[in-house]
Amino acid sequence: MITTKADAKMNYEKACHLGKKEGGSPAVLDAILQERHITAPAEVSLGLVSIPVERIVGTKSKGRSQSFSKNFYPVLKENTEFASKWISLCSAHLNEGIRDPIKAYEFMNQFYVEEGNKRVSVLKYFGAVSIPANVIRIIPPQNDDKETRIYYEFMDFYSLSQINDIWFSRTGSFARLQRLVGKLPNESWSNEDRKTFHSSYALFQEAFDSLNEKKTPLIPGSTVLNSLEDAADKKKPSVLPGDAFLYYIDLYGYDSLQTDSTAELKRKLKKTRDEFQLLQSEQSVALQMDPGEGKKKNLLLRLIPAGTKKVRVCFIYARTIDKSGWSYSHDLGRAHLQQTFSDQVITSYYENVTQENIAEYLQKAIDAGNDLIFTTSPIFLRESLKAAIDHPEVKILNCSLNTSYKHIRTYYARMHEAKFLMGAVAGAMADNDRIGYVADYPIYGNIAGINAFALGAQMVNPRATVYLEWSRRTHPIPQSFFTEHGISIICGKDSTAPGMYDQQFGLYRRDGDAIWNMAMPVRNWGRFYEHMIRNVMNGSWKLDDEKDTTKGLNYWWGMSSGIVDVICSHRLPIGTSRLIALLKDTICRGGFNPFSGIMYSQNGVIKDNSSDTLTPEEIITMDWLTSNIVGSIPSKDDLDEPARDLTAIQGVKEEDRLP
């Protein structure tokens, strides 16, 4: 159908009305570069590129921006030369289509038009998705600014993919996208790969936008401002579609966007919506350090109402109880729960569950009518979240640290407090000042345990040196290593299991074939599980909910809560026993923190003020070793396969974690 000039004129009137209503003007690249003090930018020609119309945010120079509103709607009167040209272009677009490429500059993956502003205006008005353009890229100077670091990561990604219609608010996201779509780090994309991505992302964004009252701007909350005026714009949503897309395909898989129906996609998005809120914050973990930190519960809430229905609780273990000290300690907690609430709680468990079949066992536990499910390994984290999203009626908790989700809560123990006390014992008992330490996984919390042990030893013996080795290396150390180095006092694995007769756990002294167990850390998981069950039965579970919707709740309790303890041998010298009791009491009362005061790592000063204390977040994520440790933190590639799997999820080294 041929469109008349009158039709084109009517469209100009409508577009002009929208422009005057919107106000403002397009961003000006020259002004942005001036504001950033970029006077001689590096330029690279990208050639002819299809650019997303939504990413066209401004003009190259100010003179060309006065004819448009902020989003390129026309604002000049109909009797102007500009209006006549716009109307002619509109008629050409409706009758023949606009095919000539524009000329644009790309800066920080946003586009600024130098030639073809009216073509952009017409195409934006009619809702075009993309437009061909001859593009020149302006490269900002490299610096530590987060947005600049993200942009440099984007350029690496673009060189492989030629994808330019997605943006993220966090570093590492483009590498993560490369992995999640099934590509190796330096693998190029084919035309078919690009076609699949464009259709998948467009499908996702349409569904994502439909959940909001109005369409989400492409780069809401970005620190790349179109102009200084935008800094005052507080109405932009703060969850980027790109961030949400990455979260979604990490949870459900990239292929699901090609196989799921639109209705199924929207259903999953609606259920997952609360999780997206956590993407607004860089610090999305709310740590509860002690049971008393939750909202104070009155006496009536602490009492369990008479006639409360029985609560079904299921525990899922990654290894068997008789072969794993970790699974055994959690099962002792389950047994404590069953004994404490014998008439009110029914417990069950599954053991030797893997990453491959955890979803099956979670569904079994849900089908069995369980009210609470505790998954006791970080490797179960993702499937636990998926199950919790699909079954909000079931409360699911995962034993992991430094994780943040709204549908599940996570929990862990502050074992570094116990390790500090054990280090003090070791320092007091080491005749030659040499102490061995055998660690397993270089994950969140474990490095804090190693350092706390070394600091405890150093506190009572300034000459104490800790020799660190790792049991989960591909080639673990031989048993003779410590003996050959004159080391008889060793801190080994935390505990043993009923079916594994092995005295080399906790802090022990080896004298030939004789072993003296001097001290061992204890995780009283039963105390934690009891607290959770009481919260459910007396109706106070929701009182622990984090009111900040951008944070997920992580329980990280220590000695003061009773879930962490140290058992010492009665054969220790009385003075050493008294010292440990004093230190324990002081830590429980909050009078002492192992990570307070001046601190040195192997590479220099960590804290140079005697009144400074590391934050909980710094303790959890520490990736350094104290100056009195001989050894290093292994990379993921140096570990055996199970350790690599766990380190990919919870490793302290950023390069070891899956992006």
Q: Is residue 518 part of a domain?
A: no
Task: Answer yes or no: do 445 and 536 share one domain.
Answer: no
Task: Answer yes or no: do 199 and 334 share one domain.
Answer: no
Task: Answer yes or no: do 312 and 444 share one domain.
Answer: no
| Boundary residue ending a domain (280, 310, 330) | 280
Q: Is residue 74 part of a domain?
A: yes
Task: Answer yes or no: do 230 and 240 share one domain.
Answer: yes
The DSSP string of 425-493 is HHHHH-TTSEEEEEE---BTTHHHHHHHHHHHHHHH-TT-EEEEEETTBSSPPPTTHHHHTT--EEE-B
- C-alpha 610/C-alpha 280 separation (Å) is 35
Q: Is residue 513 part of a domain?
A: no
Task: Answer yes or no: do 114 and 204 share one domain.
Answer: no
Q: Is residue 588 part of a domain?
A: yes
User: How much is the pLDDT for 437?
Assistant: 97
Task: Answer yes or no: do 10 and 133 share one domain.
Answer: yes
- C-alpha 430/C-alpha 410 separation (Å) is 38
Q: In terms of Cα–Cα distance, which of 455, 412, 447, 377 is closest to 621? A: 447
- Is residue 178 within a helix (H) or strand (E), and if so which, with residue range? helix 173-180
Q: CB–CB of 123/44 below 8 Å?
A: no
Task: Answer yes or no: do 364 and 445 share one domain.
Answer: no
CATH of the domain at 533: 3.40.50.2300
- C-alpha 560/C-alpha 413 separation (Å) is 11
Would you state the torsion angle of the CA atoms of residues 415, 416, 420, 421, taken in this order, to the nearest 10 degrees?
-20
Query: What is the 3-state secondary structure of 97-151?
Result: CCCCCEEEEEECCEEEEEECHHHHHHHHHCCCCEEEEEEEEEECCCCCCHHHHHH
- In angstroms, how far apart are the furthest CA atoms of the chain? 101
Q: CB–CB of 15/74 below 8 Å?
A: yes
Domain containing 104: what range? 1-141
Q: CB–CB of 602/617 below 8 Å?
A: no
Count of the separate structural domains present in the chain? 4
Q: Is residue 500 part of a domain?
A: no
Task: Answer yes or no: do 448 and 304 share one domain.
Answer: no
Low-confidence ranges of the chain (pLDDT < 50): 1, 214-237, 295-301
- C-alpha 158/C-alpha 169 separation (Å) is 17
Residue 606 DSSP SS3: strand
What is the reported pTM?
0.86
| Boundary residue ending a domain (109, 141, 173) | 141
Q: In terms of Cα–Cα distance, which of 642, 621, 618, 641 is closest to 633? A: 621
Q: Is residue 472 part of a domain?
A: yes
* E runs forming strands in 310-444: 311-316, 345-350, 372-375, 395-399, 409-413, 434-439
- Is residue 15 within a helix (H) or strand (E), and if so which, with residue range? helix 5-22
Q: Is residue 503 part of a domain?
A: no
Buried b or exposed e, range 134-162, using 16+ CB within 10 angstroms: bbbbbbbeeeeeebbebbebbeebbebbe
pLDDT digits (tens, 9 = 90+) for 366-409: 999 999 999 999 999 999 999 999 999 999 999 999 988 989 99
| Boundary residue ending a domain (141, 166, 195) | 141
Dihedral-angle region of residue 531 (phi above 0 means left; psi in -120 to 50 means alpha; beta otherwise): alpha
- C-alpha 104/C-alpha 351 separation (Å) is 60
Q: What is the DSSP letter of 190?
A: P
Task: Answer yes or no: do 444 and 586 share one domain.
Answer: yes
Residue 588 DSSP SS3: helix
Q: Is residue 564 part of a domain?
A: no
Task: Answer yes or no: do 149 and 258 share one domain.
Answer: yes
* Token duo for residue 437: 């330490």
Task: Answer yes or no: do 297 and 273 share one domain.
Answer: no
Task: Answer yes or no: do 273 and 319 share one domain.
Answer: no
User: How much is the pLDDT for 479?
Assistant: 75
- C-alpha 179/C-alpha 182 separation (Å) is 5
User: How much is the pLDDT for 233?
Assistant: 43
